[in-house]
Structure 1
């Protein structure tokens, strides 16, 4: 995405320009970090990074008008300030909004939204203790939105640090959280200039298509296995032939759950994933004409949410000339951005009442397909990504082509779709302005001219109001910070140990014994935990094909961090789970059901459960109509070592738990598009969705609110549509970040076999 010059002073005609440099302030300098981030004015030595760039402040004012204003946002330490212009170019400029970030601040991705004549990616900021206190900002790209999320996360860590350092409560209470809601004294001024301020389309044509490209420093996230998944998949791809320099593969494993043959085309595109993603989703036909020979004439039919829409397209067969007439089609698109920065786009043929069959056109179906766009870690400065287009094709058609090598395949819809990867590669090759990936921020070792923001946080305009998000204090531990940056490999690759399965099996048994020794108290008599004594509402599988049931598989299908991960980034095959799965409950409720373990009829409240040293309760709250709760109970046969990683997780702060609670999914059987949506990457659940923790007696309950994330809601909606034909494995673990915590171990696993929503028990 091209970056414009720095915007002029007039807010009615500005576009986001180059983001300013990140400055690390030295201790004792009169900057924001020393004034309002708990650093102290002289002596702490703790330096703060500044995140700054252009965003769009959007919302609805009290008279019902939508507003979208271009604003320059600065996050320094835990303090946030919003300006009409770049304060680095205008010294002494007062912020129009300012405040502090508290640990109760939540940032939710709302996905893609059409604003006037452009698409933006919206972030919702709210107080988790009072969700009426909220506001929205928008970014020009999904990648930029993710970087702002990381910036706010660092600000929350600074707030936790202040609590740990014992900053006085009076001072914390005086630091009010920034208020992004519109307020009445300013509404009248907005109304007077409504035509100029609301219609942002009157600004430069590229106003909504330019990016501030916020970045702290170039990093490669190794939490999620680099370019490999964290669970083994059943696909077995065989190279078939090359079209236009793009390799075509066929899945010869014939996985269950698919109706046809899977093909994929794979190519390297010289651009960053964010830019390629934007181009694939863009409906501008003049741009699509340059790389897309089939679905170039598209128009939006309906936006379902920020991650899901329906489009209509037409095609006149000028090149695939064995067709006899014009064709049209309707298909849906769902997209997700993983925590590793990779994009997945699902495209499925569909119907829509607004686009019935049209006279003069033959309605056809576009093959179900998926895009996967992942950064390619290279040593060069030019960005590159691997683009994979996977689609389903009729077995009979593909079989005839392979036997006869008929040229008709090269005049078919599947061929036109597979060729899109080659089109993208050439499109970016001849548009070098779109491929820039140079860092827009610089980390300086010496403090430069500091950006001053008043530490008193008083109102800069009459009528500005802030809400106080300060709540119960939480202690801060060094383990809460994400230390992966310090051990990031230059190439971002994850190595897998090349050992035989026999040796791997011996290693798993040995590591299992070592884990039990370190995590559990071994000098005590173990309690015999017999799962047959515990009964949940979902029954245990009697056989491999028993539907609507659960079982407890081993960890050999999952990849976890090995003993030497911090030095060579090696992942190893997981061993047997540390905890034993004793029961699974499957509930349906009208309202969200928290604190399951405290329910009088809960398994945890039984006399048999009270004799167990420790029980981990995982409560997955599934948003639907009605809502569902999948509750898993894991038991330890011995008491937990308080000084172990598990012990620190059980009795640690919520921030520490959020930074460590990890889940690895794997669809064993099911429709291939559901597999692509769910993926096999490990996910830090505490970073992706809201997790609430209940620690009492001999148990810890984790309530995972899947509905708190728009992305998670979209994925779970897709999964529920196929849930009765899906076999899914889940592995739960605590992420290891320090050498003494390695190797990782799997806390528990579960296999859910074709769960039926109608069998859920009402409570």
Structure 2
């Protein structure tokens, strides 16, 4: 794979800068060029090897010098300070690069095993980008990809057998309208604020719809008929920010005071190109309710944008559950339901906007901001052509490639060097950047709003005469270097996370137990009637790879588990709690003292924050490890093999629909996005999963904690099987956590 990316550097003061470079990834070699290479024999300015120690972290969406980039980081798992941060102009492009880097790391992992190389010997080798000294050829390795986890591109479908949670109740403006399956609009106590979902099809790519929905600039008034003003209050990370919206006065019923919403916005991209955008109300110290407005409560809402017809069209689902805080709703509940239904009809407005702007062209790609920039003016045709041309050049594809480029000649594989990525900021080409066609070609109102935290970054359509008040283009005044530096420092000083969720206000201090026995702090309740307890769910709920999976790609219901769940811990601490199985007061050591032959498999989820919470699951197996070769290889193997095989299947069987949508029901390899540490003892293997190592996982966990005491969480663990000898798969174990309560977490003892 090859194309233009942005090399992101950080100064000692934390200020970020980006430099445009052309990258080529071939086999497990990454090459960096200042400009588009015209020959396969051209020397890159930097090169590096992608090995099995390399991990890829998704940093989300950021604005760097008025360029909105989708950032991802390559880092060495044995030395996190050795890393390389790159940015792409679209989320689709960033996703392709991240997938290619993961493939390269897995391929190198298999190459080392085939050549009988020991991973531990290269555990501390730097992730380097070094200059290439000579010119040569890299031979094809002819690797067998059946041992790599990603060789079979599984369709993104649920790996859990569960009933559909929505039922249709009407159709309006070409949209199907759904309510939750257990909902009844006529029942007075139906959660008071029912969840409504509108589903429609839009003639545009999923990324184009995603960019449009994420935009809060002036172009939003072209389809969003509900909101009169939108502001980004605080940017938390690449996937999360705080948004304030004010509802149009003339859109609300007569006699109803103006409403506003303050909510946290979170987004992520699935492997199949589906975008998930979720909202829920929060309290923020910097944003109190506006005078004359009533702050409504968004219990949950968002969009699910899925590609259709090979990505040419998109299915858009818009879900909302709002407490409008309208006094008449106690007498006329249909009033609030009517408002929520009308708000979900924005999907129809999206559909008609794309249809009006682009006519009969079914495939619309607004990943670079054409929708916001062009509008409906005739002059936009020239700009579209210009942007399309640059997009083609940036991705390294032209209609007439140079004839002298030999397709069959690969790039040279760089030799080992001692220059890590950390030293790239001192490179000789630090101040060289590829010139753009126009310095501010990609600058629009939305990208400027994206990182701003002041009230000037808003848009105001005129509700009186129905005409939009155009925001005057601000002149790009050149400030002195000192002024820019002072402004950056002021922005950094206020980037504290001072928001808190509505539910976090009422959290109490947890219980303490100085004499706890690790493995028994959470009680077991097979009847599921006791809050804050655990039990063992039905294994047939989960789908795993069958015996003939490599031929028919079909998954079957699991018939049982290899291990038995014997204990669960629900702990809290001021630090990460590792190696619980090796502590003298643990359940594992109790069995070891009795000279038993039992083997324990411990999974320890570490949830960081002001207080670190641990959910530890203790599985026990009485039969010898040798009876299952794949399990024995996993327990006694190296970390690289473990990372490429350990999978989790999550499922929220009871709880808020927004949490179910966030968590999903698809099996995932945990090590592809999270940091995992392994602790091997005499009679146990503990897997410590650090949730805080991923901003995406942190955002999901934060939402789950908000609704934690209302959820029933089911988990299944397995080792992925990739060959016919390893198939069929088997579940290591399952667990069901019932209505966990943060206040009942037990203090961990050192």
- Tell me the TM-score normalized by structure 1: 0.69
2:23–2:32 CA contact under 8 A, matched in 1: yes
2:167–2:181 CA contact under 8 A, matched in 1: yes
1:97–1:460 CA contact under 8 A, matched in 2: no
Distance in 2, Cα, partners of 1:66 & 1:395: 41
- In the TM superposition, what is the alpha-carbon distance from 1:262 to its structure 2 partner? 2.1
2:719 paired residue number: 734
1:246–1:267 CA contact under 8 A, matched in 2: yes
Check if 1:305 corresponds to 2:289: no
Residue 456 and residue 562 in structure 1: after superposition, are their counterparts in 2 closer, same or farther (change >3 A)?
closer
Check if 1:712 corresponds to 2:697: yes
Check if 1:67 corresponds to 2:12: no
Equivalent residue for 2:578, pick from 588, 591, 594: 594
1:96–1:460 CA contact under 8 A, matched in 2: no
1:448 paired residue number: 407
Equivalent residue for 2:364, pick from 431, 434, 444: 434
Check if 1:284 corresponds to 2:217: yes
5+ residue gaps, structure 2, are 131-148, 368-390, 427-516
The residue correspondences of 1:97-112 to structure 2 (distance < 5 A) are 97-112=46-61
- In the TM superposition, what is the alpha-carbon distance from 1:96 to its structure 2 partner? 3.4
2:49–2:414 CA contact under 8 A, matched in 1: no
Distance in 2, Cα, partners of 1:271 & 1:146: 19
Residue 174 and residue 626 in structure 1: after superposition, are their counterparts in 2 closer, same or farther (change >3 A)?
closer
The residue correspondences of 1:133-282 to structure 2 (distance < 5 A) are 133-164=82-113, 165=115, 177-179=127-129, 226=155, 228-233=157-162, 235-254=164-183, 260-282=193-215
C-alpha root-mean-square deviation of aligned residues, in Å?
4.1
1:84 paired residue number: 34
Check if 1:664 corresponds to 2:597: no
Distance in 2, Cα, partners of 1:558 & 1:420: 36
1:373 paired residue number: 305
Residue 162 and residue 555 in structure 1: after superposition, are their counterparts in 2 closer, same or farther (change >3 A)?
closer
Equivalent residue for 2:549, pick from 543, 548, 565: 565
1:549 paired residue number: 533
Distance in 2, Cα, partners of 1:711 & 1:382: 24
- In the TM superposition, what is the alpha-carbon distance from 1:350 to its structure 2 partner? 3.4
The residue correspondences of 1:578-593 to structure 2 (distance < 5 A) are 578-593=562-577
The residue correspondences of 1:31-70 to structure 2 (distance < 5 A) are 51-62=1-12, 65-70=15-20
Distance in 1, Cα, partners of 2:154 & 2:126: 39
Residue 367 and residue 579 in structure 1: after superposition, are their counterparts in 2 closer, same or farther (change >3 A)?
closer
Distance in 1, Cα, partners of 2:150 & 2:317: 21
- In the TM superposition, what is the alpha-carbon distance from 1:750 to its structure 2 partner? 0.7
Deviations 1:183-220 (A, max 9, x none): xxxxxxxxxxxxxxxxxxxxxxxxxxxxxxxxxxxxx9
Distance in 1, Cα, partners of 2:323 & 2:16: 48
Distance in 1, Cα, partners of 2:76 & 2:181: 50
- In the TM superposition, what is the alpha-carbon distance from 1:84 to its structure 2 partner? 2.1
1:415 paired residue number: 341
- In the TM superposition, what is the alpha-carbon distance from 1:134 to its structure 2 partner? 2.5
2:455 paired residue number: none
Residue 601 and residue 311 in structure 1: after superposition, are their counterparts in 2 closer, same or farther (change >3 A)?
same
Residue 327 and residue 223 in structure 1: after superposition, are their counterparts in 2 closer, same or farther (change >3 A)?
farther
Give aligned pairs, total. 596
Equivalent residue for 1:725, pick from 710, 726, 739: 710
2:522 paired residue number: 538
Equivalent residue for 1:606, pick from 590, 600, 604: 590
- In the TM superposition, what is the alpha-carbon distance from 1:225 to its structure 2 partner? 6.8
Deviations 1:681-727 (A, max 9, x none): 22211212122223343322211111111111111112122222222
Which SS does the other structure have where 2:261 is aligned? strand
1:668–1:729 CA contact under 8 A, matched in 2: yes
Distance in 2, Cα, partners of 1:645 & 1:460: 38
1:95–1:460 CA contact under 8 A, matched in 2: no
Residue 634 and residue 85 in structure 1: after superposition, are their counterparts in 2 closer, same or farther (change >3 A)?
same
Equivalent residue for 2:73, pick from 103, 124, 132: 124
Distance in 2, Cα, partners of 1:581 & 1:642: 19
Deviations 1:625-661 (A, max 9, x none): 2212211111223123456332332233322222221
Residue 610 and residue 580 in structure 1: after superposition, are their counterparts in 2 closer, same or farther (change >3 A)?
farther
1:762 paired residue number: 748
2:128–2:417 CA contact under 8 A, matched in 1: no
Equivalent residue for 2:560, pick from 573, 576, 580: 576
1:387 paired residue number: 316
The residue correspondences of 1:613-632 to structure 2 (distance < 5 A) are 613-632=598-617
1:283–1:298 CA contact under 8 A, matched in 2: yes
Distance in 2, Cα, partners of 1:626 & 1:696: 27
Distance in 1, Cα, partners of 2:228 & 2:550: 46
Which SS does the other structure have where 2:625 is aligned? coil
- In the TM superposition, what is the alpha-carbon distance from 1:600 to its structure 2 partner? 2.1
2:76–2:127 CA contact under 8 A, matched in 1: no
- In the TM superposition, what is the alpha-carbon distance from 1:731 to its structure 2 partner? 1.0
2:625 paired residue number: 640
2:76–2:126 CA contact under 8 A, matched in 1: no
Distance in 1, Cα, partners of 2:8 & 2:158: 37
Deviations 1:408-451 (A, max 9, x none): 789x5413321122222233334346349999789x9x971636
Which SS does the other structure have where 1:704 is aligned? strand
- In the TM superposition, what is the alpha-carbon distance from 1:549 to its structure 2 partner? 1.3
2:296–2:323 CA contact under 8 A, matched in 1: no
- The farther-off stretch of 617-626 and 259-268 is 259-268
Distance in 2, Cα, partners of 1:550 & 1:252: 26
- In the TM superposition, what is the alpha-carbon distance from 1:230 to its structure 2 partner? 1.9
Deviations 1:208-247 (A, max 9, x none): xxxxxxxxxxxx9898974542224455432222222111
Distance in 1, Cα, partners of 2:85 & 2:288: 36
Which SS does the other structure have where 2:561 is aligned? coil
Which SS does the other structure have where 2:647 is aligned? strand
Distance in 1, Cα, partners of 2:715 & 2:672: 18
Residue 350 and residue 587 in structure 1: after superposition, are their counterparts in 2 closer, same or farther (change >3 A)?
closer
Residue 84 and residue 174 in structure 1: after superposition, are their counterparts in 2 closer, same or farther (change >3 A)?
farther
- Tell me the TM-score normalized by structure 2: 0.70
1:537–1:761 CA contact under 8 A, matched in 2: no
Distance in 2, Cα, partners of 1:544 & 1:362: 40
1:371–1:388 CA contact under 8 A, matched in 2: yes
Distance in 1, Cα, partners of 2:275 & 2:39: 38
- In the TM superposition, what is the alpha-carbon distance from 1:266 to its structure 2 partner? 1.2
Deviations 1:385-430 (A, max 9, x none): 3221122257999x999x9998x789x5413321122222233334
